Structure 1
Amino acid sequence: MAKTVRFHEYGGPEVLRVEDVPAGEPGPGEAMIRIEAVGLNRAEALFRSGVYIEQARSFPARLGAEAAGVIESLGEGVTGFHAGQAVSVIPMFSMNDYGVYAERAVVPAAALIARPASLDAVESAAVWMPYLTAYGALSQIGGIRPGDTAVITAASSSVGLAAIQIANRLGAVPIATTRTRSKKDALLKAGAAHVIVTDEEDLAAGILEHTDGRGAEFAFDAVAGPGVTDLAGAVARDGTLFLYGALSGQPTPYPGFDLGMPALNMRTFLVHEITRNPERLRVAVAFIGSGLRDGTFTPTIDRVFALGDIADAHRHMEQGAQFGKLVATVR
């Protein structure tokens, strides 16, 4: 038996329960992992609430797609890993099929990455979702170049902070946005070239000012909703607006017609575009790994919870006040 977080109905953090559940055995192409730390992501709160891009097939349902741990055993046909090896679990599967909010969990071997020697379990659980999301969108899909500008909304999130580091490493200029002034200095210290406080400043005007009127080649947006019109209005000609989240919870318009039909590329992005593509994943892991080794990439961890306090962790996540990644440890 393994302590496992499940929910028996949709709802707020209070529906999360830590229960003793059979861990099962790894089948072909799978591995059993003793979990040490779990990276928490907004997608899990949405899945728990019933408003994610997919619904739970049945109840009780599990949660979690990102973790760090040690391989206990391997299923038939798995090569390249061994029992006792420290690994990270990356988000590439449906939470209807697997979940890593647990002491022990079976996961697909394709979701495993050997843990870099420089990272402990907590850090390793905080790396892959943020950096794969940011690098995948901005570099692999967008083709960001030195000298390009990337506007990063909700920049104090783990993905936003990773995007700042990645933009800097690629020679681009990261402009961070945040709602309140309280996080401005921390974002500048984290590497943002400029910070726009959206409760006090006009977003589009600020972007145009910091790009000498050219606009930003990329906007990397976690908020969506009505604000995309202002954001799109400051995207450079032939630039790209990525929507990778919907924190606003409001309908998102297509702004092209209201803005006079500019040469705007607007698309959604999901990390699975990278993690479920072996070649893209290979390249992304090599790039991120090199940044971890030379110290260019350092995951920012806001707070660490115990797995038994997972409801409190979800409450903290939904408040939106964190600066960086939330992690739950399994003791």
Structure 2
Amino acid sequence: MRIIKFERYGAPEVLQYQEVGAQLPADNEVLIRVKAIGLNRAESMWRQGAYVEPVNLPARLGYESAGIVTCVGAGVTHVKPGDAVSTIPSFSLNDYGMYGEEVLAPAHAVVKHLPTLSFEQAVSIWNPYITPYGALIATGLLKANDTVLINAASSSVGVGSIQMVNMMGAVSVALTRTGEKRQQLLDAGAQYVIATEEQDLVAEVMKITDGKGAQIILEPVGGANFPKLISALQVGGTVFVYGGLSTDVTPLPILEVIARKPIIRGYNLFEVTTHPDSQKKAVEFISQGLESGALKPIIEKTFTFDEMVQAHHYLEKSQHLGRIVVLVD
């Protein structure tokens, strides 16, 4: 079986395929024959040494895989060989990596997904839906009719956020750089779309909210536009910062902060996924949304396992809408 690793930081070409011998799960581990892998921008940042956690080289990578359990270690009772499962991001990439034809995963990260889901769909649900779930639902912050600004809305988390906001009876406002993806975002469920490089972001939000501003902003970008987001926020509103896709300096607009009194909160899905009770509630909530049809994973493009370098290049173009999936034969 092959896994993927890297020995130095850099472009996707640093990814290397390595043959590994037979693997056996230790206590509380699960061995999975992988069928599909879901790509996350966090893995691109990890490969470049630009993630929130230091990387121990040589390194593995990959948070989300789906496949068939082939073996379980002592203490594992919730899954068994032959089960179709997927993995939830709830571990350090210094400890485990899901890029492989057969991988070991910590038992707490392995769940049986809905049997109606394909393997491609199963790797397109956890990060895209748990991320907004933790910010909006687990906190109890989102209320019906609230307006939520969703930056980088065409990402898999962005699309998942649109669907979850709509599911809760709130108002989803997709933010995208240009109007190129406007219709795609509307088709994906966004109630409003604002092209931030072509429209006046603050003016458009004030039109939508009758001058009140948005209650919540989901922000994975940062950079020069951050002050505009603060200006588009309701007094006392909350900004969940869960990424730093922009390499530009992020200014803090002091006077707007004084005027709007925002809550600027650093956030990541590990707040939910690393605690058994909260992870269980998230899985149940998302599964109910999938069963009802309110949540529908959108897959933009698939690659083969041998095309992982090309898949990472495609991911980093930021031109996709929805999930990029790598299929493993």
Change (3 A) 1:31 1:248: same
- Equivalent in the alignment of 2:152: 154
Query: In the aligned structure 2, how far is the partner of 1:192 from the partner of 1:203?
Result: 16
Q: CA deviation at 1:23?
A: 5.0
Structure 2: distance between partners of 1:256 and 1:192: 31
**CA displacement at 1:280 relative to structure 2:** 1.5
- What is the letter of the counterpart of residue 240 of structure 2? F
Which residue of 1 is the match for residue 49 of structure 2? Answer: 50
CA contact (8 A) 1:142 1:240 kept: no
Separation in 2, partners of 1:319, 1:232: 27
The equivalent residue for 1:139 is: 137
How do residues 217-232 of structure 1 correspond to structure 2 at under 5 angstroms? 217-232=215-230
CA–CA separation in structure 2 for the residues paired with 1:256 and 1:298: 40
Most deviating of 261-270 and 212-221: 261-270
Given that residues 62 and 101 in structure 1 are in contact (C-alpha distance below 8 angstroms), is that contact kept between their aligned partners in structure 2? yes
What is the aligned-residue RMSD (CA, Å)?
A: 1.2
Alignment of 1:144-223 (within 5 A): 144-223=142-221
Q: Which residue of 2 aligns with 1:278?
A: 276
SS of structure 2 residue aligned to 1:156: coil
CA distance in 2, matches of 1:21, 1:55: 25
Structure 2 SS opposite 1:32: strand
> Counterpart of 2:23?
24
1:10 partnered with 2:15: no
Alpha-carbon distance in 2 for matches of 1:197, 1:163: 17
Alignment-mate amino acid for residue 18 of structure 1: Y
TM-score, normalized by length of structure 2?
A: 0.97
Contact 1:33 1:71 in 2 (8 A): yes
Identity of paired residues, percent?
41
Look up the equivalent residue of 2:54 and give its one-letter code: Q
TM-score of the aligned structures, taking structure 1 as reference length = 0.97
- 5+ unaligned residues in a row in structure 1: which ranges? none
Take 1:258 and 1:168, find their aligned partners in 2: how far apart are those partners? 29
Aligned residues of 1:23 and 1:106 also touching (Cα < 8 A):
no
Q: Distance in 1 between matches of 2:68 and 2:323?
A: 21
Q: CA deviation at 1:146?
A: 0.3
Please tell me whether the aligned partners of residues 39 and 325 of structure 1 are also in contact (alpha carbons under 8 angstroms): yes
Gaps of 5+ in 2: none
Residue 40 of structure 1: aligned partner: 39
Deviation digits for residues 167-191 of structure 1, max 9, x if unmatched? 0110100000111111001111111
